[in-house]
Structure formats: structure tokens, C-alpha cells
Chain A
């Protein structure tokens, strides 16, 4: 299999996942650029891409997004970051004891690596081993971080809203 065929096969198989990953953390235009950046790096370093490329690609995407954030909004407050990165059109107020806003605030209060560990598992459906590959850490380290992140998240949520996870009513899908 020549380099071009391998690259095309990889793009067809994983570009949507990378686009979704980027779009969940950025606006549409930014996400397109991140996808292009990720696969440009993948093309240049095709020999370094492992057999299961998705975690590796998401790792590049994570760093690309971080670079963009640093460039574009260095001064942006942590509190506002998650909210601003979420795409428009997400339903703001749903029924339940814990609002989306409270969940987002609690996520925003976490450190970047803790938050990413939670989102990789919750949003992107990765296993701890895959999440570890994305963040460039050992699986055990990732599991520890995930556990710590979950505890911190729950603590922030309780402090903020006076509620505990699990008391929330079933939600609806976003309106898009």
C-alpha cells in the first residue's frame, strides 16, 4: 500500500471522528481548519501513525485546538471558555434538577487535562487506553486522572448548585 492510498484510507475511516471531536470543542470553521491541520500532520508523519490511528489523530487534534485557543483567546477567562467553545444552537434550559449551564460551569472549573479526560470518555466514547493515547500518558495515569476529574467535577457541581449528579431528569436531544 503506497503512502497516498494509506492516507486516503485513513482519511475516509477517521476524518468524521476527528471533525466531530473538533466540532464538539470549537465552532464549525475552526473545526474544519483543525481537521485540515491534523491530517496535514498525519501526512507529513505518516510513518509515525500507529496501526490504530484514531487516538493518535485525536491527540494531534487536541494539541491543535490547544494551540488555536492560546493564539486566539489567551486572555479568555477559564470560566467563559467552555461556554464559548460550545457550538450555537444547543438547548440551554432543559427540564431537570441540574441545568446544562451548571454542568458546563462545573466542566469549565476543571483543569484542561482533567476536563479533556472526562470529555474523551463521555463525549467521544473512548476507552481509558484510547484516551491515554490521545493525551500521551499511560493508561494507569489516565484512569487516575479520570477518577480525580470525576471527583472534582462532582464537588464543583455540588458546591455550585447544591445538587448531586443523578437527580437530573432525562433530557432531550439538541434542537438541530
Chain B
């Protein structure tokens, strides 16, 4: 069947050379959890010929009698099902296989097997060095203290060494049961889901992490990036966990990594970097940041997965600029307690009044704190979420009017005095790569009265 038409259609074949299938081990893990025919179950093929032979041995009269009996049983069962199931449609009963609900332990073991199926290092035997690391892993040490679980020491494996010399180990974490979580954390804590996650660990205080569950690794959402800062010598560093079969990653560096935020650079062009995968980890180190994975490649070069998020890497949007420098703002750069006007609306109100604090920012991306005094209802209050940022998450820049609702105020009568100070300076792109905490004296205060 070869003619011009077939040749023409063949020429638009997107994959003339073919692609490899996922590894058999992954398929077998799935079959182990198959509710219809688990891998360990007896093969049906061994039973069927025996039944057929038995039927053939019977005489015709017995066969007819048997058929009638079978029909009668089927009808009886059908009547019972219809009566019991009420409105459920027989089609659904026939097409959907009964799924046996799994216990907490079964679900946990399935997630553990899935993790082993995704990460090749977990499938080899543990070396003496890995056993030593496994013994040294301390649950109360970073990064493990963030997990609600216990290290699965038998699965600790060396993964890779990053280009900057950091040795990385996989440390799967077995989640606590509800009882275990209560025992470790206290009453009222929610039990973690029965999903074994892998943590990434670097011994000797190098910390690490950026791990996750098998499902998240498969989806390409497990990794960590940090920097640039003094410790990384001005470089962006990070890694991403990838499933078996991924040999390299394409990273894309957007032209405008900070989006419309002030202080981040806008590069003349999109950057690209291809990173080889070792031990299911793609470690990346670059001068530009942040990187976004664009594609996963197999060893033979074909694309395993593309990430559409990287499609907007060339996009450039106008950046909001801070207001003009003033003598006052320059003074505030030197001394954050430089006096600055603070006022509250309303000046007088009742218990249901929403009082709002206002001031005009003198600094870019500062954190603020405020302290109440003047009544018996006093205390420290910070900005709600994201200190020093608007509730929308936008940057606070010089010259911008900062407004924040003083929630919780008004429970008791009296005249309040609120004093505002700068408590820290957030990282600001490449202009201020490292955030720092400061404890400046208040730059202003205001009073308001609750009647």
C-alpha cells in the first residue's frame, strides 16, 4: 500500500522513529493496585479451560438442565439486584467494576510503591554509606521537621552531587497516622494524607529539600530554587525531581523574571539552558533567574513533556515605578525612623467602626509593624499577610499611599495611640538581593478614640 497519497500522509508523521513506552515496573505497580485483577491474584486463564472441559463431558440432557438452572439463578440474582439497588441503572452495574475501598495502610503502601517506581535510586540496594546517612537522619532537623512523618530509613539513597558540590540524598517520609500525629504535634492536628513523600536531604548541615509525592514528581511540580545571594555567589541555584526516563531538561529564563515588579531586571532576550539529569535530579545553576522548565527529554531526544507556563517567557510588561526621591525619602534610606506622617480614619468611632491606618511610604518594599498604647487593650499588631505588602501582594513602593485596616481594634473604649516603624526590608530583585530585618524607632504615630 504505497502510493503518492500514502507517502504524502507519511511525510507529516510527527514521530517517524517512534517513542519508548513507560518502564514495565511502573505498569506493574499499577497492576498491583488494580481492584479488578490485582497482579498477585490467580490468573483467570488457568480456570477457564477446565470449566469448558467439564461442560463437554456432560450429556445433552444435563447440559439443558444446567442451562435452565443457570438462567434461573441469573434471573433471581438480577431481581435481587434491581430490588436492592432501586434507581441505579443496570448499565452502570455492568460496566463499572466494583472498586474495593482501600485502607489507610493500603493507600500508604501504594504511594510508597509508586515512589519507588518513579525514582530509580530507590530500587537499588542500600550501600553502607547510605545506611550511615539513614541512621544520622534526624526527624527534628531541617528539612524533616516540616513533614508530619518519620524518615523511611530503609529507602534512604544517594541521588546526585550538584554542580556546586552539594551531595543530595533521597529520604522518603512515612506519614504519621492520625494517632501518631496527635502524639507528636498535639490534639486538634489534622492527620496527614496516607501518601509517602520523598524529601531531599544534604548531610552535614547543608539542609536541602524540594521533594514531594510520586504524583507530584510525575506532574513536574517538585523542586526548589533559591538565590541569588552572597552564599550562592550571586547565582540562582536549584533542582527539580523528575521521574525515570527523563534524561535532560530545557530551562527557559524569562525576559522579565519578576513580571511587572520594580527592581527586577528585564533581559534583552529569553535565555535557554539544557540540564542533564543525574539520579532523577536536574540541578541548575545560572546567572539569570528564575528558571522555568520548558520540556523534558528522553535519552533519545524526543520530548516527554512540555510545560506551557514557559510560553510567556518573551513577554514584557510595563513596570510600576516608585515615586520621585525627596529629601525625606533620602533621609529615610539612611535612617528608617525619619519622621513621616501617620493618620487613622476615622479619628472617632464605635465598636463596629473599621479604623484604617494610613501613611505614605518613603522606602521601596519595606516591612512595617505597629504598636498600640493608651488603653488597657494594647498589644503588637503586624500587617496581615505578607508584611509590608498590600493585601493584593503588590509591591509597596516609594510615594505609595499605604492603607491597612486595624482589625480587632474597638473591643474596648478609650483613646488609642498607634506608632508605626520599619521592621525589615524585603528582597528587591537585583537591587537588594538579600532581605534584612531591622528594628528602627517609630517614624510616626496617630491617635483615635473608640466610644
Contacts and interface: CB of A to CB of B under 8 A. Distances in A.
B393 interface: no
A165 B14 CA distance: 19
Interface in B30-74: 30-31, 34, 36-37, 39, 43-46, 48
B8 A11 contact: no
Given A3-B44, A15-B22, A44-B37, 8 more contacts: A87-B15, A100-B11, A103-B8, A103-B11, A122-B9, A150-B6, A168-B11, A176-B303
Contacts of A7: 31
Tell me if A's interface is mostly helix, strand, loop or mixed. helix
A30 B34 CA distance: 20
A147 B304 CA distance: 35
8 contacts: A19-B19, A20-B15, A23-B19, A43-B34, A89-B303, A107-B9, A122-B10, A176-B302
Q: How large is the interface on A (under 10, 10 to 19, 20 to 34, 35 or more residues)?
A: 35 or more
Given A3-B43, A20-B19, A46-B43, A15 B24 contact: yes
Contact of B44 (A23, A47, A146, A174): A47
A8 interface: yes
B16 A40 contact: no
A16 B19 contact: yes
Interface in A24-71: 24, 27-29, 31-32, 35-36, 39-40, 43-44, 46-47
Interface in A98-133: 98, 100, 103-104, 107, 118-119, 121-123, 127-128
A4 interface: yes
A171 interface: yes
Contacts of A87: 14-15, 303
B9 A119 contact: yes
Nearest to A19: B21
A162 interface: no
Interface of A: 2-4, 7-8, 11-12, 15-20, 23-24, 27-29, 31-32, 35-36, 39-40, 43-44, 46-47, 86-90, 98, 100, 103-104, 107, 118-119, 121-123, 127-128, 146, 150, 153-154, 157, 165-166, 168, 171, 173-174, 176
